Amino acid sequence: MADAPPSADPETWFVLRHGEATTSAQAEVAVRYGDAARIARGVGVMALGLALGAACVVVPVLHLITTWALPAGGLALGVYLLNTRSKVAGLRGECPACGEPGRFASASLEGTVEAVCPACFAFVQVTPAALAPDPGDAAPG
Q: What pLDDT digit, counting tens, does each position of 97-130 carry?
A: 998 998 888 788 888 888 888 889 999 998 888 8
Higher pLDDT, 5 or 18: 18
| pLDDT at 27 (0 to 100) | 85
Please tell me the distance from the alpha carbon of residue 16 to that of residue 33, in angstroms, as a whole number: 24
Cα 96 to the chain's mean position, in Å? Answer: 20
- In a domain, residue 138? The reply is no
Looking at the chain, the whole-number percentage of residues with pLDDT higher than 70 is 87
- In a domain, residue 137? The reply is no
- In a domain, residue 122? The reply is yes
- In a domain, residue 66? The reply is yes
The tens digit of pLDDT for each residue in 47-71 reads 999 999 999 999 888 889 999 999 9
| pLDDT at 52 (0 to 100) | 93
CB within 8 Å of 10: residues ≥ 6 apart: 129, 130
Domain limits at 93? 12-32+89-129
CB contact at 8 A, 74 and 45: yes
- In a domain, residue 140? The reply is no
CB within 8 Å of 76: residues ≥ 6 apart: none
